[in-house]
Amino acid sequence: MSSQEIPEENLPAEQDAAHGAVEGAGDPFADPGLPAHKPRIQDIDERAANRSERAVAFMFTLSMLATVGFIASYVIFPVDKIVYIFPFGHVSALNFSLGLTLGVALFAIGAGAVHWARTLMSDVEVADDRHAIAAEPEVKAKVLADFAAGAEESAFGRRKLIRNTMFGALALVPLAGVVLLRDLGPLPEKKLRSTLWAKGKQLINMNTMEPLRPEDVVVGSLTFAMPEGLEEDAHDFQVQIAKAALMIIRIEPDNIKDKREREWAHEGIVAFSKICTHVGCPISLYEQQTHHVLCPCHQSTFDLSDGARVIFGPAGHALPQLRIGVNSEGNLEALGDFEEPVGPAFWERG
């Protein structure tokens, strides 16, 4: 990426030098220099300056009053008082008054300071010189010489054994910190491949917390279910429901296009994982006529009448189906776990 081959004269003229072909006084574009200072009204009229002073003082006073108002609001309004304020609607009286008073208390200080700066402080423009960021050659030479002296005195370059072992030690010691991170979590192993579902587990309706019966599931309804034995106050409830959540719908068996789906269903009742195969949002929007479900996060759309294949959106594969049947009590039960991992795809999924 060297640019050595671009000669200096190829670059445009420095901006501070006269530009254009004509030099010096003949250049119509020459820098005329800083314009003369134009006095403001406050610079020439003492009364105007006094008005500015009063305006600034007014704003600072307003700030003081607003702070008092802030403290008063804090004391007066109960935390749960809701009031109607046009056009904001029903709002917390405390939050509204605290926000407004604090806002004014702060804003008035700022407005006062800025007005002070703009009207009363000198607005004469001053030019300050810049100095090159890079050091002068003498400074650089001195630094390089110092460095060479220091390096020489350390014998860093000469005693290679010290250098190499030091690099080795410094390279290894951070490993201690890396090793300490090991217990941040368990290894993945097969954890993502299984859920709580197993042969014989009943489907529990998440609305009623009762076992689902086939007659509970009517065409056009969407029911959410979880495996029997999973309690909401269990310590791992969130982890388990994140994988086991189920969507149950009923489709006329003749309308099921996918052969395997029909086989895994019970009288047209099909159970699919509720967890989107894209990045894991729960799917919740069901279109009764078409049996399409839509993930509200990224709009992946699955056709539940055709093996839950993806018909739109960023999901990469169909929703896993749970094989279900009916047990001796007439309740819906799982006939095993999902045959493939639920939720988003991952490297080991295969």
Partner 1 sequence: MSTATDTKRKAPAGEKVADWADGRLGIYSLAKANMRKIFPDHWSFMLGEICLYSFIIIILTGVYLTLFFHPSMNEVVYHGPYEPMQGIRMSEAYASTLDISFDVRGGLLVRQIHHWAALIFLAGMFVHMMRVFFTGAFRKPREINWLFGFLLFVLGMFTGFTGYSLPDDLLSGTGVRFTQGAILAMPVIGTYISMFLFGGEFPGGDFVARFYSIHILLLPGIMLGLLVGHLILVFYHKHTQFAGPGRTNKNVVGMPLLPVYMAKAGGFFFLVFGVIAVIAGIASINPIWAIGPYRPDQVSTGAQPDWYMGFAEGLIRVMPGWEINLWGHTLVLGVLIPLTLFGVILGAIAVYPFIESWVTGDKREHHILDRPRNAPTRTAFGVAWITVYFIGLVGGGNDLWATHFHLSLNAISWFVRIFFFAGPVIAFVVTKRICLGLQRRDKEKVLHGRESGLIKRLPHGEFVEVHEPLAPAQLHTLTAHEQYKPVEIGPLVDENGVKRKVSVVQKLRAKLSKGYYGENNQIAKPTAEEYKEITSGHGHH
Return the amino acid letter for 208: T
Q: Which is nearer to partner 1, 68 or 162 (CB)?
A: 68
Least distance from partner 1 to the Cβ atom of residue 252, Å: 27
- From the list 253, 266, 259, the residue with the least C-alpha distance to 212 is 266
Q: Which is nearer to partner 1, 126 or 173 (CB)?
A: 126
Return the amino acid letter for 10: N
Least distance from partner 1 to the Cβ atom of residue 96, Å: 5
| CA–CA distance, 51 with 40 (Å, rounded to integer) | 13
Least distance from partner 1 to the Cβ atom of residue 282, Å: 5
- DSSP bridge partners of 211: 204
118-144 residues labelled b (16+ CB within 10 A) or e (exposed): ebbeeeeeeeeeeeeeeeeeeeeeeee
| CA–CA distance, 224 with 219 (Å, rounded to integer) | 14
Least distance from partner 1 to the Cβ atom of residue 108, Å: 7
| CA–CA distance, 211 with 202 (Å, rounded to integer) | 6
Q: Which is nearer to partner 1, 48 or 297 (CB)?
A: 297
Q: Is the dihedral of CA 12, 17, 20, 21 positive or negative?
A: negative
Burial class, 226, CB count within 10 angstroms (exposed 0-12 / middle 13-18 / buried 19+): buried
Whether the CB-CB separation of 271 and 250 falls below 8 Å is answered with no
Q: Which is nearer to partner 1, 139 or 145 (CB)?
A: 139
Least distance from partner 1 to the Cβ atom of residue 155, Å: 33
SS3 labels along 159-225? CHHHHHHHHHHHHHCHHHHHHHHHHHCCCCCCHHHCCCCCCCCEEEECCCCCECCHHHCCCCCCEEE
Least distance from partner 1 to the Cβ atom of residue 214, Å: 22
Q: Which is nearer to partner 1, 172 or 187 (CB)?
A: 187
| CA–CA distance, 141 with 135 (Å, rounded to integer) | 10
Least distance from partner 1 to the Cβ atom of residue 102, Å: 4
Q: Which is nearer to partner 1, 109 or 326 (CB)?
A: 109
Q: Which is nearer to partner 1, 253 or 280 (CB)?
A: 280
Least distance from partner 1 to the Cβ atom of residue 93, Å: 11
Q: Which is nearer to partner 1, 89 or 157 (CB)?
A: 89
